[in-house]
Structure 1
Amino acid sequence: MDDLINYLLQFGNLNQQQLQLILDNVFERTVKKDAYFSEAGKIPREIGYIRSGIFRVCYFNNKGTEVTRYFVEENRLIADINSMDSKVPSTEYIQAITDCEMIIFTEETLKLLSSTILDWDRILAKIREKAMMEKIQKIAPMLTEDATSRYLMFMEKFPDLANKIPLSYLASYLGITQSSLSRIRKQLSKH
């Protein structure tokens, strides 16, 4: 679980006792491809650290169309924090695109760490802040660029991801149809 420890230490100082407390209160879980870590309509009760694999966060719009908001790769925490904090059912799904290995923090563990480790809440706040900035950097260009530019930007930022995710998810993320994505890919392969 060194990967989790190294990740947490980027956001604050923790001594050996505190690190041991964290390790004693988390557990590992495998989430199989296509399974959900969190589902719309349910109140989330866990935060997961992704050791390996890729998740997507998606929802269904008012027309019933599935929309992929973003992808989350390894060495990141994943959860619907807002729904968890406010104890309201989530409006999003967190689905594994590949088999994923995770380390799980339950709600009880988070409360224990918050009440025991002085800097814990500040560390979580820094992690949230970084995640929000990354999300903004991923989404902002999607709002202003044309479909081909959005696809090229995605390929530049996430070269490994394109071959690991279904085209339907990528098209949904880019805000285009699968046939449009196929046409863009075909045009680009000619150049």
Structure 2
Amino acid sequence: MEEFINYLLQFGNLNKQQIDLITSKATEIELKKDEYYWEAGKTVRQVGFLTDGVIRVFYYNNKGEEITRYFIEENHLILSGNTVDEVFTPSEYLSAITDCKLVVFSKQNWKDLSATIIGWDSIIQKIITKHHAEKIARRSELVSQDGTERYLDFIEKFPTLVNRVPLSYIASYLGITQSSLSRIRKNIR
């Protein structure tokens, strides 16, 4: 919980009463490796913040292959849909790559925070903007790079993930085969 509060404080000010309210509305949960935080086709009923671990966002293409869209690591907010009122049924899966710890809020408790804490929406909007910019920066370069450049870029942008994520997931994220990734890794050593 402390990690979440400290993260929020980077984007705005909160007094002790507001922090106590946030803490009272939250629940801390653990996901074991390979457990889903959410699944395609099932309505999402909570907002989460990852305090420890790595989650993979993936979907199945029309050939039934798993395609990794991106990775979520510590200090990331996991929102569902465009607004908290929206009934959100994802087309993707969020699965724990490692054992994970999250701070979660029911959608109603999240709305209560928004209605009660002056400046809450501003803080959350700043966080969303930051995460969105990071996601775009990470993905946009992949289009114009070859496999080696993509992998080197991945190492640079995700230095903590290289040893925490299976190679098959990294290869899927980079849009290359696992054997190509093995060759690339061998050639750059």
Structure 1 length normalisation: TM-score?
0.94
Separation in 2, partners of 1:84, 1:34: 27
What is aligned with 1:42?
A: 42
Report if the CA contact (8 A) 2:81-2:88 is conserved: no
**Aligned pair in 2 of structure 1 residues 115, 84: CA closer, same or farther (>3 Å)?**
closer
| Post-superposition offset of 1:63 | 2.1
Identical-pair percentage:
53
1:24-53 Cα offsets, whole Å, 9 max, x none, are 110110000011101110121112111110
Match for residue 150 of structure 1? 150
- Whether the 8 Å CA contact 1:44–1:84 is kept in 2: the answer is no
Cα distance change, pair 56–84 in 1 and its aligned pair in 2 (3 A)? farther
Quote how far apart the aligned CAs of 1:60 are.
1.1
**Matched ranges for 1:162-173 at <5 A:** 162-173=162-173
> Contact between 1:44 and 1:83, CA under 8 Å: does it hold in 2?
no
Is 1-10 or 21-30 further displaced after alignment?
Answer: 1-10
Aligned equivalents of 2:15, 2:164: Cα separation in 1: 38
The 8 Å contact of residues 83 and 89 in structure 1, kept in 2 or not, is answered as: no
Instruction: Name whichever of 153-162 and 78-87 sits farther off.
Output: 78-87
- Counterpart of 2:87, as a letter, is K
User: Would you say 1:71 and 2:66 are equivalent positions?
Assistant: no
- 1:83 Cα shift? 8.2
Give the superposition deviation at 1:81.
3.2
Deviations 1:31-80 (A, max 9, x none): 00011101110121112111110111111122221111111111111233
Aligned equivalents of 2:141, 2:80: Cα separation in 1: 23
| Structure 1 consecutive aligned stretches of length 4 or more whose deviation exceeds 4 Å | none
Deviations 1:96-153 (A, max 9, x none): 1000011111111111111111211121111111110010111011111111000001
2:178 and 2:26 mapped to 1: Cα distance?
Answer: 40
Aligned partners of 2:112 and 2:39: how far apart in 1?
25
1:24 is matched by which residue type in structure 2? S
When normalised by structure 2's length, the TM-score is 0.95
Contact map agreement 1:45 1:84 (CA 8 A) in 2: no
Q: Give the superposition deviation at 1:10.
A: 1.3
User: How much has 1:86 moved relative to structure 2?
Assistant: 2.9
Cα shift at 1:88 = 3.5
Moved more, 134-143 or 42-51: 42-51
CA contact (8 A) 1:49 1:77 kept: yes
For residues 83 and 114 of structure 1, do their structure 2 counterparts lie closer, same or farther at Cα, with a shift above 3 Å needed? closer
Q: Which consecutive unaligned segments of at least 5 residues does structure 2 have?
A: none
Equivalent residue pairs, number: 189
Check conservation: 2:81, 2:87, Cα contact below 8 A. Answer: no
> Pairwise CA RMSD of aligned residues?
1.4
For 2:28 and 2:89, the matched residues in 1 are separated by 24
Corresponding residue of 2:184? 184
